[in-house]
Amino acid sequence: MRQQLQSAWVHRPYTVVLAVVLVVPGALAIVYGDDVSQALSNIAAGTISRLMGTLLVVGSVLTLLGIARNRALTETLGLTVTGIGCAIYGLGVILGLGLHGAVAGSGFLAIAAGTIRRVITLAAVAREVDRASES
């Protein structure tokens, strides 16, 4: 398991860093709800903040488990959940703070888009492997 994570750190550092870094804001959102983000407290109840936090933590854990155990499906599921959490936060920041949230909000939306793009790439690779194994 450790070897898989070390290899991923060399070959896919973005994925590893993303999964590790997003645990912190996710955990804070679960614990503190609205108090963790002024933007989300402007537009939603604590439930949305906690949902976003749960998505970030669960997605990050699944991503790391998928990498560590060499399970593409688990990693893909984790990245999908993480991408949804990032999209919720990005939209929340932009809607809640307007222009003041443009930088952070667009950054999180870009992370969401990149993460979902990775999921699409992994799915395409999996389909190619399946086709090759059927031949």
Query: What is the predicted pLDDT for the residue at 10?
Result: 86
Query: What is the predicted pLDDT for the residue at 46?
Result: 72
Torsion of CA 129, 133, 134, 135, to 10 degrees: 110
Q: What are phi and psi of 22, to 5 degrees?
A: -75, -10
43-69 burial by CB neighbour count: b if 16+ within 10 A, else e? bbeeebbbbbbbbbbbbbbbbbbbbbe
Residue 38, SS3 per DSSP:
helix
> Residue 48 is inside which H or E element, if any?
helix 46-68
Query: What is the predicted pLDDT for the residue at 5?
Result: 80
Work out the pLDDT band at 81, boundaries 50, 70, 90: very high
> What are 32-80's pLDDT values in tens digits?
887 777 777 776 667 888 899 999 999 999 999 999 998 889 999 999 9
Q: What is the pTM (predicted TM-score) of this model? A: 0.85
> Residue 34 is inside which H or E element, if any?
none
